[in-house]
Protein backbone atom coordinates (compact mmCIF):
# COMPACT_ATOMS: atom_id res chain seq x y z
CA UNK A 1 0.00 0.00 0.00
CA UNK A 2 2.84 2.38 0.84
CA UNK A 3 4.42 1.93 -2.60
CA UNK A 4 1.09 2.48 -4.35
CA UNK A 5 0.44 5.61 -2.26
CA UNK A 6 3.86 6.95 -3.23
CA UNK A 7 3.20 6.27 -6.93
CA UNK A 8 -0.24 7.90 -6.71
CA UNK A 9 1.04 10.88 -4.76
CA UNK A 10 -1.65 10.26 -2.14
CA UNK A 11 -1.55 9.61 1.58
CA UNK A 12 -3.22 6.19 1.67
CA UNK A 13 -3.51 4.35 4.95
CA UNK A 14 -5.20 1.12 6.01
CA UNK A 15 -8.57 2.92 6.01
CA UNK A 16 -8.33 3.07 2.22
CA UNK A 17 -8.67 -0.72 2.15
CA UNK A 18 -12.10 -0.54 3.80
CA UNK A 19 -13.47 0.22 0.33
CA UNK A 20 -11.96 -3.01 -1.03
CA UNK A 21 -13.36 -6.51 -0.88
CA UNK A 22 -11.69 -9.00 1.44
CA UNK A 23 -9.96 -10.79 -1.45
CA UNK A 24 -8.38 -7.55 -2.70
CA UNK A 25 -6.03 -7.04 0.25
CA UNK A 26 -4.19 -9.01 2.91
CA UNK A 27 -1.42 -8.63 5.43
CA UNK A 28 1.80 -10.57 4.97
CA UNK A 29 5.15 -10.70 6.70
CA UNK A 30 8.05 -9.70 4.46
CA UNK A 31 11.73 -9.74 5.26
CA UNK A 32 13.38 -6.35 4.77
CA UNK A 33 16.72 -5.15 6.11
CA UNK A 34 17.25 -8.41 7.98
CA UNK A 35 13.98 -8.31 9.91
CA UNK A 36 10.38 -9.33 9.25
CA UNK A 37 7.85 -6.56 8.85
CA UNK A 38 4.08 -6.67 8.50
CA UNK A 39 3.01 -5.28 5.12
CA UNK A 40 -0.40 -4.63 3.66
CA UNK A 41 -0.56 -6.10 0.15
CA UNK A 42 -3.12 -5.05 -2.47
CA UNK A 43 -4.19 -7.34 -5.32
CA UNK A 44 -4.25 -6.33 -8.97
CA UNK A 45 -7.98 -5.60 -8.89
CA UNK A 46 -7.52 -3.74 -5.59
CA UNK A 47 -4.91 -1.44 -7.12
CA UNK A 48 -7.20 -0.63 -10.03
CA UNK A 49 -10.13 -0.04 -7.63
CA UNK A 50 -8.04 2.38 -5.56
CA UNK A 51 -6.94 4.20 -8.71
CA UNK A 52 -10.59 4.62 -9.70
CA UNK A 53 -11.75 5.62 -6.22
CA UNK A 54 -8.93 8.13 -5.71
CA UNK A 55 -9.12 9.43 -9.27
CA UNK A 56 -6.64 12.11 -10.24
CA UNK A 57 -6.17 12.85 -13.97
CA UNK A 58 -2.39 12.77 -13.51
CA UNK A 59 -2.62 9.10 -12.46
CA UNK A 60 -3.84 8.11 -15.93
CA UNK A 61 -0.22 7.50 -16.95
CA UNK A 62 0.29 5.36 -13.83
CA UNK A 63 -2.75 3.23 -14.66
CA UNK A 64 -1.61 2.82 -18.27
CA UNK A 65 1.92 1.87 -17.17
CA UNK A 66 0.58 -0.67 -14.66
CA UNK A 67 -1.93 -2.14 -17.12
CA UNK A 68 0.17 -2.24 -20.29
CA UNK A 69 3.65 -2.90 -18.95
CA UNK A 70 3.86 -4.11 -15.36
CA UNK A 71 0.88 -6.46 -15.33
CA UNK A 72 1.61 -7.69 -18.86
CA UNK A 73 5.11 -8.75 -17.81
CA UNK A 74 3.80 -10.39 -14.64
CA UNK A 75 1.14 -12.31 -16.56
CA UNK A 76 3.66 -13.42 -19.19
CA UNK A 77 5.95 -14.78 -16.46
CA UNK A 78 3.10 -16.88 -15.12
CA UNK A 79 2.90 -18.97 -18.27
CA UNK A 80 1.77 -22.47 -17.53
CA UNK A 81 4.58 -24.99 -17.23
CA UNK A 82 4.62 -28.41 -15.67
CA UNK A 83 6.27 -27.14 -12.48
CA UNK A 84 4.10 -24.08 -11.90
CA UNK A 85 0.90 -24.58 -9.93
CA UNK A 86 -2.19 -23.23 -11.63
CA UNK A 87 -5.79 -22.72 -10.56
CA UNK A 88 -8.87 -23.79 -12.45
CA UNK A 89 -12.58 -24.25 -11.87
CA UNK A 90 -14.49 -27.50 -11.93
CA UNK A 91 -18.11 -26.84 -12.76
CA UNK A 92 -21.15 -29.02 -12.68
CA UNK A 93 -24.86 -28.22 -12.43
CA UNK A 94 -25.56 -26.06 -9.42
CA UNK A 95 -22.01 -25.52 -8.17
CA UNK A 96 -18.37 -24.98 -9.00
CA UNK A 97 -15.12 -25.74 -7.22
CA UNK A 98 -11.67 -24.12 -7.33
CA UNK A 99 -8.85 -26.63 -7.70
CA UNK A 100 -5.09 -26.36 -7.92
CA UNK A 101 -3.17 -28.35 -10.53
CA UNK A 102 0.40 -29.02 -9.43
CA UNK A 103 2.91 -31.73 -10.30
CA UNK A 104 0.41 -33.74 -12.31
CA UNK A 105 -2.10 -33.84 -9.45
CA UNK A 106 -5.30 -31.98 -8.69
CA UNK A 107 -5.58 -30.47 -5.21
CA UNK A 108 -8.78 -29.43 -3.45
CA UNK A 109 -8.96 -27.11 -0.44
CA UNK A 110 -9.80 -28.93 2.77
CA UNK A 111 -12.66 -26.53 3.48
CA UNK A 112 -14.22 -27.49 0.12
CA UNK A 113 -14.25 -31.21 0.89
CA UNK A 114 -17.78 -31.27 2.39
CA UNK A 115 -19.02 -30.02 -1.00
CA UNK A 116 -17.18 -32.79 -2.83
CA UNK A 117 -17.57 -35.83 -0.64
CA UNK A 118 -21.08 -37.13 -0.37
CA UNK A 119 -22.25 -39.41 2.39
CA UNK A 120 -21.31 -43.01 1.82
CA UNK A 121 -24.26 -45.14 0.89
CA UNK A 122 -25.24 -47.41 3.76
CA UNK A 123 -23.92 -50.92 3.30
CA UNK A 124 -26.73 -53.41 2.90
CA UNK A 125 -26.92 -55.92 5.72
CA UNK A 126 -25.84 -59.36 4.74
CA UNK A 127 -28.60 -61.80 4.33
CA UNK A 128 -29.34 -63.86 7.43
CA UNK A 129 -28.62 -67.09 5.58
CA UNK A 130 -24.97 -66.01 5.08
CA UNK A 131 -24.57 -65.42 8.82
CA UNK A 132 -26.15 -68.79 9.59
CA UNK A 133 -23.91 -70.51 7.05
CA UNK A 134 -20.84 -68.85 8.54
CA UNK A 135 -21.82 -70.05 12.05
CA UNK A 136 -22.34 -73.58 10.78
CA UNK A 137 -18.89 -73.54 9.14
CA UNK A 138 -17.31 -72.32 12.39
CA UNK A 139 -19.01 -75.06 14.37
CA UNK A 140 -17.89 -77.71 11.85
CA UNK A 141 -14.29 -76.50 11.84
CA UNK A 142 -14.21 -76.41 15.65
CA UNK A 143 -15.48 -79.99 15.89
Instruction: State the total domains in the chain.
Output: 2
Q: Same domain for 28 and 63?
A: yes
Q: Same domain for 31 and 66?
A: yes
Q: How far apart are the first and last CA of the chain?
A: 83
- pLDDT, residue 78, reads 62
Region of poorest pLDDT, from 52-56, 84-88, 121-125, 134-138: 121-125
- pLDDT, residue 79, reads 59
- What are phi and psi for residue 108, nearest 5 degrees? -120, 140
Q: Are 20 and 50 in contact (CB under 8 A)?
A: yes
Domain that holds residue 96: 86-116
Report yes or no on whether pTM surpasses 0.75. no
Length of the chain: 143
Dist CA 70 CA 28 (whole Å): 21
Q: Same domain for 71 and 10?
A: yes
DSSP state of 32: E
Q: Same domain for 44 and 90?
A: no
* Digit-coded pLDDT (tens) for 79-92: 555 567 888 888 87
Mean pLDDT of all residues in the chain?
83
Of 77, 107, 134, the position where a domain reaches its end is 77
pLDDT at 119 over 80: no
pLDDT at 15 over 70: yes
Please give the average per-residue pLDDT across 49-71, as a whole number.
89
Q: Does residue 65 form part of some domain?
A: yes
Q: Same domain for 56 and 73?
A: yes
Q: Same domain for 20 and 50?
A: yes
Q: Same domain for 71 and 29?
A: yes
Q: Same domain for 65 and 20?
A: yes
* Digit-coded pLDDT (tens) for 16-56: 888 899 999 998 888 878 888 888 899 999 999 999 988 88
Amino acid sequence: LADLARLMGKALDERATLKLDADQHREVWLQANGECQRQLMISESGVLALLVHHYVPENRALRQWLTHEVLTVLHDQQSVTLDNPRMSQLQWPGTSLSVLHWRSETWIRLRDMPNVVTEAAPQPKRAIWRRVLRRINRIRSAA
